[in-house]
C-alpha cells in the first residue's frame, strides 16, 4: 500500500523551501524536518552575500582569511575552485574579485539538509523525501522502494507549459536561466550578462553538482556543449531562443535519435 505524503514549507535563502515526505508523520520525522530547515538557515547565516554579518561577507569586507571563518567556507571554496578548473572558467566563484559561492552553495546546503533523513530512509520508516529550494530539487527514496519522483521542467517562455518531464528515484534536478530572474547570469570569462532567453536543466546524483553545472550550461548556451565531456552529470537539456539540445553521459542525444529515425 502506498504511503501518504505531506509537505512542509518555510522561507529560507531568499526563497521558499518545500519539503515533501512520503510516509507517516511521526515525532522522528518531525525532528528530521526541523533539522533539515535548521541546516538551511544556518548555512544561510554563514554564506549569504546579503547579510553583513555572514562569514562570506566578513571574508570580503574585513579581509579575513579562510582559517578565520566557519570551516564550511573553506570546504565550499575548495569545491568552487575545482569547478572553475573543470568548467574552463565558465563557473568562477571569484569572478568579481571576492568569493561569492551563490551558484553552488544552495545545492550543497540542500544535499546536507536531506542527510537528516538518512536513518529514516535506511530503516524504511519513510518511503521517500524530496526537498525543493527555489525550484531546485534533491530527491531521495528508501532502498527497495519502487517510488519515483515525476518532475516537470517549466517551459522558459510559455507560462504553465512544460519543456520536458523526468522521473527520478534518487538524485537531483536543477534549472538555471533567465525566465524567473531576468539577465542575472554573468559569464565569468567576459563579465558579460547572458541576455537570454536561455534555460538549462541538469540531472545529477546530488544537487550541488546539478546546480553548479546547470549554471554552467545556461552561461554556455545552446551553441556550446564542449563543457559536458567528463563532468559528473547524468543528463540535461539546454533551451535558447526556441532551440533545444539534450545530452546524457557526455553525449548529445538529439542527433543520435535523429540518426536512428533516419
Phi-psi region of 240 (alpha: psi -120 to 50; beta: other; left: phi over 0): beta
Contacts of 13 (CB under 8 A, 6+ apart): 40, 43, 44, 48, 106, 109, 133, 134
How high is the pLDDT of residue 259?
42
Work out the average pLDDT over 198-203. 92
The model scores a pTM over 0.85: yes
Given a cut of 70, whether residue 257 has pLDDT beyond it is no
In the predicted model, what is the mean pLDDT of the chain? 90
For 84, the 3-state DSSP assignment is: helix
Per mean pLDDT, which range of 68-82, 86-100, 169-183 is the poorest? 169-183
Work out the average pLDDT over 18-41. 97
Report the distance separating Cα 238 and Cα 223, nearest Å: 9
How high is the pLDDT of residue 182?
57
Task: Determine the straight-line distance between the first and last CA of the chain, rounded to whole angstroms.
Answer: 44
Dihedral sign of CA atoms 144, 132, 166, 201 in order: negative
Locate the domains of the chain by residue range. Answer: 5-261
Give backbone dihedrals phi and psi of 166, rounded to 5 degrees, phi first: -135, 155
Quickly state the pLDDT bin for 258 (edges 50, 70, 90): very low
Tens of pLDDT, residue by residue over 116-143, are: 999 999 999 999 999 999 999 999 999 9
Domain 5-261: give its CATH architecture: Roll (3.10)
246 in Cβ contact with 223 (< 8 Å) = no
Alpha helices, DSSP H only, in 15-145?
27-47, 55-61, 71-86, 102-114, 118-122
Given a cut of 90, whether residue 144 has pLDDT beyond it is yes
Amino acid at each position: 500500500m502506498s504511503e501518504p505524503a505531506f509537505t512542509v514549507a518555510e522561507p529560507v535563502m531568499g526563497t521558499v523551501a518545500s519539503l515533501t515526505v512520503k510516509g507517516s508523520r511521526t515525532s522522528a520525522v518531525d525532528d528530521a524536518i526541523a533539522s533539515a530547515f535548521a541546516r538551511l538557515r544556518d548555512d544561510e547565516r554563514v554564506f549569504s552575500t546579503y547579510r553583513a554579518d555572514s562569514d562570506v561577507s566578513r571574508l570580503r569586507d574585513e579581509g579575513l582569511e579562510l582559517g578565520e571563518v566557519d570551516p564550511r567556507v573553506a570546504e565550499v571554496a575548495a569545491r568552487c575552485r575545482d569547478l572553475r578548473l573543470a568548467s574552463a572558467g565558465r563557473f568562477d566563484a571569484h569572478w568579481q574579485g571576492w568569493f561569492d559561492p551563490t551558484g553552488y552553495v544552495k545545492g550543497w546546503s540542500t544535499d546536507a539538509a536531506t542527510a537528516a533523513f538518512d536513518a529514516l530512509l535506511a530503516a524504511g520508516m519513510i518511503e521517500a523525501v524530496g526537498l525543493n529550494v527555489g525550484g531546485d530539487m534533491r530527491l531521495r527514496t528508501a532502498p527497495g522502494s519502487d517510488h519515483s519522483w515525476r518532475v516537470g521542467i517549466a517551459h522558459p517562455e510559455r507560462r504553465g507549459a512544460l519543456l520536458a518531464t523526468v522521473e527520478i528515484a534518487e538524485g537531483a534536478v536543477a534549472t538555471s536561466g533567465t525566465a524567473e530572474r531576468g539577465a542575472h547570469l554573468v559569464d565569468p570569462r567576459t563579465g558579460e550578462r547572458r541576455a537570454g532567453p536561455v534555460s538549462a536543466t541538469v540531472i545529477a546524483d546530488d544537487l550541488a553538482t546539478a546546480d553548479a553545472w546547470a549554471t554552467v550550461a545556461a552561461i554556455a548556451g545552446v551553441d556550446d556543449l564542449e563543457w559536458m565531456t567528463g563532468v559528473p552529470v547524468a543528463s540535461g537539456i539546454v533551451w535558447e531562443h526556441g532551440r533545444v539540445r539534450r545530452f546524457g553521459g557526455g553525449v548529445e542525444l538529439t542527433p543520435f535519435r535523429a540518426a536512428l529515425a533516419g
